[in-house]
Each structure stands twice: as structure tokens, then as C-alpha cells.
Structure 1
Amino acid sequence: MIDVSALRALQSVAALGTLAQAADELGFTASAVSQQIKRLERQIGVAVLAPAGRRVVLTPAGQAVVDSAPAVFQAMERCTEAAQSVSRGAPRGLLRVVAFSTAIRGLLAPAIGRLSTTCPDLRLHVTEMDPDDALRCVDAGTADLALVHDADGVPAAAAPSLIQRHVHTDFGDVVMSRDHPLASIDAPLTGRDLVGHAWVTSPPGTVCHQWFRRLFADLTDAPNVRHLVDDFATQLALAASDNVVALVPRLARPAVGDELVVRPLRRQPKRDVAAAWRHSADASPAIRAVLAELVSAAQ
């Protein structure tokens, strides 16, 4: 009979290309992953990996095994979830959640607080992770639930084995000091209102930097970017001390205090946040409980 842990190891090696990277993802040493692969080869009687420079590639037989692996994992998980649902129905045990940082702050943290009261036997282990990596981990079975956001309106690509459900829409607002000229404008701000002011913004390559660039897309005046900072609390500190303007997602925004004011934009930048889990885990009481709390936290 095929060892399930060895099958999981082969799936991870196939996705990442090296034993070392697979070992990091699975929490083993590279030697342990290598031994698992060798055990799998002995069990099925054929080689599943071949060297390719510093990486490894699947043999045709290895590819056939990897192609069949999701069905094996899903069947095992459905069996486990069915037994748990029938025997207890209550969410309990450990749920591994991977999520981007602002979702952890704005959605997961409030949900965990309530779950500690409503589901005392359930524990969440949260790891910060970008959306693409998060979805891959859930698909591979190294995480149970992911929170992901779209990229400039394009949803993160998910494997067919995953279910995605929208849980929240996050908007961006501008924040400035109370004595900044923009603070006196009560109406939602336009791109024209923002021209000529100094900014602190997230670095290029981030969703929030794309939001920022879009504010000025229809204008000929280049924005005055004084600071590039990834941490939103630091952005707000600079807005208070250096009279710069910040564009901050609501999920990421801490209490602004008396020194700062928040103003909405006429064309609000937004991103959709979705939860993702495996089809085979759809009956999980733990996942259902966390989803309910996430929706409540979003509201």
C-alpha cells in the first residue's frame, strides 16, 4: 500500500522542483523527504523522479502518480470529515490558516477572539502568506483554509480541487494630518484634488501601490512620492509627522487618533477577499465555523 506521507512528499517536490524546497514546505529535512520518495518508489516498483541539473523532474510514472494524488487525498479527507461530522459535529482540533497580513489583522484577529468563546475546543494556527502560495499550500494539504485577495481585479488562480467563497470587499481611503489642506474637504476626493501633495505609499509590486498609481492614471501631473513604506502603521506615523498623504486599506488601518483624519475617494480602490478550502473538506465543522466568523468580522 502506498504511504500517504510519501505521496504528499512527491506532490510537493513536483510543485516546487527541489527536495530542499519541498522539505521546507513540509517541515522535514531534505534527507527525510528523499527517504520518503525512495520508499514510495519501492512500494510502486518504479522510479518517480529523475535528476535535472540542480533540480529534479518527474518521470512519466511519477507524473501519473502525482496526477492521481488529489483524488487519494480528497477521498481520505472526506472519510475523516464524515466521521468527525457524525461523531461530534462541533468544531474542534487544529485548523491551519494561511492569509495575507491585512486579512490577519482585519478579519482573522477579530474572528479568533470570538471563536475562543463560541468554539473553545478549536485552535487556529495562522501563517502569513501571499495569495498564490496560500492557495498552493491548501491544495497540497499543508494548510486547511486560505484567505486571498484579487490582484488588480483579477482573482488569484485556484486549482479545481479548491472551493472559493467571497467573504469581504476591502476599500482604500486617504489619510492625512488634521491640518493638511485636504482635511478640510468634506466631499469624496478626486484625482485632481490629490495633485501637488506629497505622499507616502506602499512599494511597487504591491496591490496598494497599484491603487495609488491608478489615482493619477488620468492626470498629466506625476505624483510627488516622498516615502516608500510597506508598513501601514509607519505610513500613518509619517502622515502625522511629515504632512504627507497615505492611501491605506481599511483592513490594514489601525485607529488613527486625533492627529489624523480619513477621507474617502470618489473612485474607491477596492479588492475582494475570498476564503479557499479543499472540496474534500467542505463538511468540516471547523472550516464552517471560521467562515461564519469571518463574514461576521467583515460586517
Structure 2
Amino acid sequence: MIEVGALRALRSVAALGTLARAAEELGFTASAVSQQIKRLERQVGVPVLAPAGRGVVLTPAGQAIVDAAPEVFQALERCGEAARSVSEGAPRGTLRVVAFSTAIRGLLAPLLRGLSVRCPGLRVHITEQDPEEALHSVDAGTADLALVHDADGLPAAQPPSLTQRLVHTDVGDVVLSRSHPLASATEPLGRADLAGHAWVTSPPGTVCHQWFRRLFAEAPEEPDVRHLVDDFATQLSLVTSGEVIALIPRLARPPLGDDLIAHPLRRQPKREVHAAWRQSADASPALRAVLAEFG
């Protein structure tokens, strides 16, 4: 009979491409993962991995096993959740949550205190991960719940074993110093209002930079970008000088203090935040308790 640990190791190797990366994800040594794979090969009687450069690839037999693995893991999880749901049903144990940094700050951190009062037997363990990595972690069983955002209107590719729910819609505002000429505006700002002003923006490749580029997509001149900074608190420190303004999502925004104000845009950039979890974990009291916090 195939061991569950060996099956999980093979699926991680298949997803990540090397024994070392799979070992890091699973919390084992590369040698231990290698031994699990060899044990699996003895159990099925055929090779499941083949070398490929510095990594490995699945053999046809290995691919067949990985393709069938989700059904095995879902069945095992349903067994465990069925046992928990017929007991007292109180959320308990540890729920492993993976999320991008601003969701941790803006969505998860504010609910932890109330959750600990309502569910004293439940511990929430949070790890920061980008959406694609977070979805893989939940699919692989190394996390229970992911908070992910769409990228420029396009959601991250979701494995078929997962289900998701919209929990928040985030929008971006222009943040500026109270001494800035635009601070006295009484209406939402448009592209014409922003033309000619200097900016600090998030680096290329980030959702916020995509928002910024779209804001000036049809402008006759390139915007004046003075600084590229990934950390939003650092952006705000530069905005305080009065030299530059910034486009910052509300989820990512620390308290502004007395020197800064946030002003809405005429066409507000938006991103949707979804919670994603394994369909086989639907009955989990711990999962349901955390999802209920989002309304």
C-alpha cells in the first residue's frame, strides 16, 4: 500500500521541480524526501522520477500517481473533518493561514483578538506568501486557508481541488501631504489633476505599479516618477516631505497621522481579495470560524 507521506512528497517534488525545494516546503531534509520517493518506487514497482538537469521530472508512472493523488488526500481529509464535525463542533487546534502582506495587516490582524475570545481553543498560524505560492500551499496540504488577490483584474490560477469566496474589495487612493497643492481638492481626482506632479510608486511587477501605469495609460507625457519603493510605510515617509504623492491601497495603508491625507480617485483602481480552501475541508469547524469573521 502506498504511504501517504511518500505520496505527498512526490506531489511536492512534481510541483517544485527539485528534492531540495520539496524538502523545504515539507519541513524535511532532502535526504528524507529522497528516501520517501525510493520507498514509493519499491511499493509501486516502477520508477516515478527521472533526472533532468539540476532537477527531476516525473516518469509516466509518476505522473499517473500525482494525477490520482488529489482524490486520495481529499478522501483522507473528509474522514478527519467528519470525525471532528460529529464531536462538539467547537473550533480547536491550529488553522494554518497563508496570505499576502497587506491582507495580513488589513484583514487578518484586526480579527485575531475577537477570534481568540470567541474560539479560545483555536490557534491561527499565519505565513506571508504571494497568491500563487499560497494556492499551491493549500492545494499541497501545507496550509489550510489562503487569502489571495487578483493581479490586474486576473485571478491567480486555482487548482481544481480548491474553492474560494470573495471576502474584500480593496481600492487605491492618492496620498499626499496637507501642504501639497492638491490637498485642497474637493472632488475625486482625475488624470488631468495629477498631471505634472511627482510620484513615489511601487516597483514594476507589483499590482500597485500596474494601477499606476493604467492611471496614466492615455496621458500625453510620462508621469514624473522620482522614487520606486516597495514598502508603503517608506512611501509615506517620502510623501510627508511634500515633494511627491503616492497611490496606495487602503489595505496597505498605515495610519496617516496629521501630516497626510488620502484623496479618492475619479476612477478608483480595485482588486478583489478571495479566501481559498480545499473543498474537502468544508466541514472544518476551525475553517468555518475564521471564514465567519469576514462576514
Same fold (TM over 0.5): yes
2:232 corresponds to: 232
Distance in 1 between residues matched to 2:93 and 2:219, nearest whole Å: 53
Distance in 2 between residues matched to 1:51 and 1:237, nearest whole Å: 50
Q: Does 1:31 align with 2:31?
A: yes
Distance in 2 between residues matched to 1:63 and 1:282, nearest whole Å: 28
1:125 corresponds to: 125
- Does the CA-based 8 Å contact 1:108-1:294 persist in structure 2? no
2:275 corresponds to: 275
- Does the CA-based 8 Å contact 2:78-2:281 persist in structure 1? yes
1:71 corresponds to: 71
Deviations 1:162-208 (A, max 9, x none): 00110000000000000100101010000110011111110000000
1:203 partner letter: P
1:208 corresponds to: 208
Distance in 2 between residues matched to 1:273 and 1:267, nearest whole Å: 19
2:103 partner letter: A
- Does the CA-based 8 Å contact 1:150-1:273 persist in structure 2? yes
1:99 corresponds to: 99
Q: Report the TM-score, using the length of structure 1 for normalisation.
A: 0.97
- Does the CA-based 8 Å contact 2:163-2:277 persist in structure 1? yes
1:183 corresponds to: 183
Shift of 1:88: 2.2
2:212 partner letter: F
1:24 partner letter: E
Spell out the pairing of 1:4-153 with structure 2 (5 A cutoff): 4-153=4-153
Deviations 1:223-269 (A, max 9, x none): 11111111111111110024310111000111101100110000000
Distance in 2 between residues matched to 1:137 and 1:92, nearest whole Å: 21
Distance in 2 between residues matched to 1:280 and 1:258, nearest whole Å: 48
Q: What is the number of equivalent residue pairs in this alignment?
A: 295
Distance in 1 between residues matched to 2:242 and 2:38, nearest whole Å: 60
Higher mean C-alpha deviation, range 229-238 or range 50-59: 50-59
2:268 partner letter: Q
- Structure 1's unaligned 5+ residue stretches are none
- Give every structure 1 segment of 4 or more consecutive aligned residues whose post-TM-superposition deviation is greater than 4 Å: none
Distance in 2 between residues matched to 1:69 and 1:147, nearest whole Å: 24
Secondary structure of the corresponding residue to residue 89 of structure 2: coil
Q: Report the TM-score, using the length of structure 2 for normalisation.
A: 0.98
- Does the CA-based 8 Å contact 1:165-1:274 persist in structure 2? yes
- Does the CA-based 8 Å contact 2:198-2:244 persist in structure 1? yes
- Structure 2's unaligned 5+ residue stretches are none
Distance in 1 between residues matched to 2:240 and 2:288, nearest whole Å: 41
Distance in 2 between residues matched to 1:218 and 1:200, nearest whole Å: 20
1:162 partner letter: L
Which structure shows the bigger proportion of residues in helix conformation? 1
Shift of 1:58: 1.0
